[in-house]
Amino acid sequence: MYKISPSDLTFSWDGCKYCFYLKVKHNIVLRGPFPGIFTKMANLTSEFYLGKPTSEISLDLPPGFVKLKEKFVKSAPISIPGAKSQCYINGRFDAVIQFDDGSYGIVDYKTSEAKDEHAIFYSRQLSAYAYALEHPAPNALGLSPISRLGLFILTPDRFERMTNNDMVFVNKATWMDVPRDDEAFLALLGEVMAVLDTPTPPRSSEDCGVCNYRNSMQEFLAR
């Protein structure tokens, strides 16, 4: 039974399948620290929009309000045809919107440039949250139906001084709808399980900095 983090399906899986294999199958993780400033910015954004109407995020969204922030999800076991093992989704979303029609939307807050390719890149991650909420494990958070997925992107635009001690980065806000494709998501899980069910890890990516560091250290210690 493998635990799959929604974020692993973007950065880890596409980055280096060798590192992905070690992390998911053997809980071996070698990575640098995540800059605390980005965590702080995400927390401030989540707190600000909690309880706000959807119109505060985008006028293109149906009426509703931001109901939840930073909650963990856990799916029921997922069986993939042909796979020897099972997996489940486990992770934490940024925010959930409750629309007036009774459906829900998942929002991921980003501080970055707003690029069209982000919608496809983060589709796996947001689809994983949606699947877990609609197919929760016993006693886990469940919400259904999930009718909307999207990115709320803040892009620093300029710097302003408010007082002697208070300065602000003024951001441009962009709402970006993210397509949901459960068929593609489950097909991806099939590829993931095929890799995890093999007795040995796949080859590392040539441009993987972690693997290159690991190999350099092994060569150094072998001298």
Please determine, looking at this structure, whether the domain spanning 2-221 carries the CATH number 3.40.50. no
Most confident of 9-18, 41-50, 99-108: 99-108
Task: Compute and round to an integer the Cα radius of gyration of the chain.
Answer: 20
Q: What is the pLDDT of residues 163-207, one digit of tens each?
A: 888 998 899 999 999 998 889 999 999 999 999 999 998 888 888
Query: In the structure encoding, which two tokens stand for residue 100, read together?
Result: 């007036």
Give the contacts of 11 (CB within 8 A, at least 6 positions apart). Answer: none
User: Sign of the C-alpha dihedral, residues 39, 45, 49, 51?
Assistant: positive
Per-residue pLDDT tens for 134-143?
Answer: 999 999 999 9
Least confident interval from 31-35, 54-58, 196-200, 218-222: 31-35
